[in-house]
Structure 1
Amino acid sequence: MLKLNVKNETSRLRAVVLGIADSNGPSPNPKECYDPKSRQHVLAGTYPKEEDMTKEMDAVAAVFEKYSVKVFRPKAIKDYNQIFSRDIAFVIEDKMIKANILPDRDREFQAIEHVWSLVPKENRITLPEECHVEGGDIMPWNDYIFIGTYYGKDYPDYITARTNIEAVEAIQRLFPNKTVKSFELRKSNTNPKENALHLDCCFQPVGKNKAIIHKNGFLIEDDYNWLVNYFGKDNVFEISKEEMYNMNSNIFSISENVVISETNFTRLNAWLRSHGITVEEVPYAEIAKQEGLLRCSTLPLLRD
């Protein structure tokens, strides 16, 4: 059996699912893209190559090995994108919750069945069909569960809207002792610089009490202000539109003192180091072309 425990984003990581890029398949057709950034790179002929993405993920696996983290990988499905394991399930406390993702991606979950089956049955949660949710929108933070969502009546028109009000309410029922705080995100099917695909594309806590944030990712200014007040202005690192586009908020914490970050995030990495956080830099710019980065490709199972 697999012991699960995830209460926040930054406690010491012991076990994780890391996606794979081994058989990612050819560059998709623009109409098959799930997000505007992938589509932009397909049209420009700059969509990432499988061998480059595999190298990037190997670099992350090496960091996990260095810190003695147990790593599970999905079973490979031929010509299928399995990089973003965060989307397909998430852990809160000792429960593993299967995400209700885009129907086209259901096979991704089947590829981690060997992990799911290790979880005690009573701790495996499948939400009702009407609850749309992806793990990139779910952020446990001690007494809180932060959730990115979109409440607009035009929700069905956005392929970039992944988590709905029904899912927010279902998670609140599952964890009555937690305060569920939802944030409406800015969505665009066509402009990646105006689209926060998930909450972790515009916000993420780091260390003990700090956070990375991009104001324009939030549809409602009060939501952004709430987070800045909660963490404190001096503890918040504000990222620009360009930095959000390059996924600066989507790094990944191994502990309160160690993060994995992208080599090109010079301003962010300097800020983290100035606060005593060790930054393990990896190349991840090719994977970033699919509007996902380090947090998106990791599914934490156990943190101390």
Structure 2
Amino acid sequence: MMDVFVDSETAPLRSVIVGYPDNFLQVDAEIINETQRQYYDGPDAPTPEAVTAQLNGFIDVLRSRGVSVIQPHALPYVPDQMMTRDIGVVIGTTFIVTTMAARSRRLEWRGYSHLFERFPEDVKVLFGPEDLVIEGGDVIVDRGKVFVGIGQRTTLAGAAWLMQLVPDYEIVPITLSGLDDGEDVLHLDCSFLPVGDGYALIYPGGMREIPATLRETYELIEVTRDEQQALGTNVLSLSPDTVVSQPSMTRINGEMRARGIEVVEVPYSEPPKTGGSFRCCTLPLHRAH
């Protein structure tokens, strides 16, 4: 049996599913975000070799910190299995297989479905209805709340469905800025993410309005537009005092260090060209109580 429990974004990380590019772009891929549109046909397009090298380095860091890393089985009919965050979410002891906006991604969950038989009996596995959209990058569980981004990838109906599943948590919907607003915020974790003990990274322009709950719950560390576009908010917390971040995020890393957070810098310039960084590539199964 394997432990399955998450009720915090920053509690000590024990086990995690990390995506892997076994079949990266080996079959025709649907362009599913503006970042891919920018890079895939250009001279700086990500290659399987470069992406794999950096992902392996990230995995090595996780294991060196005592995190159990699980990887999905490669699916021959899926062009990209790196962004595991989107295809599922754990809230308490409930594992939710989300419903992806892009139909080319709706079978990715099969890459880790073999794990379900190892879950304890008290863990519920639920599947999102086909007629709504909700993705894990828009769901952040922390401090008794579930923050849900409403935007390019998750609908209001998806958030309402989630609310029915976890009545013990306060659901906080956050409307994200869209392409019509001149912003490219694919998921909530591209503009907001708790770090440390009571802090959160935030890109104010990524939301139509910042909910009062965010200001009341966290000391907010503002991120610039350039930092947001480089996925500076998309870090991964290993514990309340340890975060994995890109070395290029010099200012953000300095702000976190000034608040007593250890920042582990891991080279990660290639995976973000597919549209996601450290948090996007990881689906935590167990964080300590």
Q: TM-score with structure 2 length normalisation?
A: 0.93
**CA offsets, 1:215-244, max 9 Å, x none?**
11002x243x5423431xxx2211111100
RMSD value, Cα: 1.9
Could you tell me whether the CA contact under 8 Å between 1:27 and 1:47 is conserved in 2?
no
Aligned match of 1:288: 272
Q: Quick check: which one's helix share is greater?
A: 1
Which of 42, 46, 49 matches 1:48?
46
In the aligned structure 2, how far is the partner of 1:143 from the partner of 1:95?
15
Aligned match of 1:82: 81
Aligned match of 1:115: 115
Counting only pairs closer than 5 Å after superposition, residues 218-229 of structure 1 correspond to structure 2 as 218-219=207-208, 221-223=209-211, 226-229=213-216
Aligned match of 2:168: 177
Aligned match of 1:134: 135
Aligned match of 1:199: 188
Aligned match of 2:237: 253
In the aligned structure 2, how far is the partner of 1:28 from the partner of 1:261?
31
Aligned match of 1:23: 23
Aligned match of 1:143: 144
Could you tell me whether the CA contact under 8 Å between 1:19 and 1:83 is conserved in 2?
yes
Query: Structure 1 pair 68/171, CA: closer, same or farther in 2 (3 Å)?
Result: same
In the aligned structure 2, how far is the partner of 1:289 from the partner of 1:20?
15
Quote the offset at 1:7 in angstroms. Answer: 0.4
The sequence identity of aligned pairs, in percent, is 31
In the aligned structure 2, how far is the partner of 1:263 from the partner of 1:278?
13
| Letter of the structure 2 residue corresponding to residue 109 of structure 1 | W
In the aligned structure 2, how far is the partner of 1:272 from the partner of 1:119?
35
Aligned match of 1:98: 97
In the aligned structure 1, how far is the partner of 2:39 from the partner of 2:215?
33
* Structure 1 segments unaligned to the other structure (5+ residues): 151-160
SS of equivalent to 2:52: helix
| Letter of the structure 1 residue corresponding to residue 221 of structure 2 | F
Quote the offset at 1:143 in angstroms. Answer: 1.2
SS of equivalent to 1:276: coil
| Letter of the structure 2 residue corresponding to residue 166 of structure 1 | A
Could you tell me whether the CA contact under 8 Å between 2:204 and 2:210 is conserved in 1?
no
Counting only pairs closer than 5 Å after superposition, residues 210-221 of structure 1 correspond to structure 2 as 210-219=199-208, 221=209
Which of 262, 269, 294 matches 2:253?
269
Quote the offset at 1:45 in angstroms. Answer: 2.9
| Letter of the structure 1 residue corresponding to residue 231 of structure 2 | M
| Letter of the structure 1 residue corresponding to residue 285 of structure 2 | L
| Letter of the structure 1 residue corresponding to residue 270 of structure 2 | E
| Letter of the structure 1 residue corresponding to residue 161 of structure 2 | A
SS of equivalent to 2:185: coil
Which of 142, 145, 159 matches 1:168?
159
Q: TM-score with structure 1 length normalisation?
A: 0.88
Quote the offset at 1:26 in angstroms. Answer: 5.0
SS of equivalent to 2:82: coil
**CA offsets, 1:122-153, max 9 Å, x none?**
61011222231110000001211000013xxx
In the aligned structure 2, how far is the partner of 1:226 from the partner of 1:14?
28
Bigger drift between 107-116 and 134-143 goes to 107-116
**CA offsets, 1:33-59, max 9 Å, x none?**
100111011243322011111111111
Could you tell me whether the CA contact under 8 Å between 2:198 and 2:217 is conserved in 1?
no
Aligned match of 2:227: 243
Could you tell me whether the CA contact under 8 Å between 1:72 and 1:115 is conserved in 2?
no
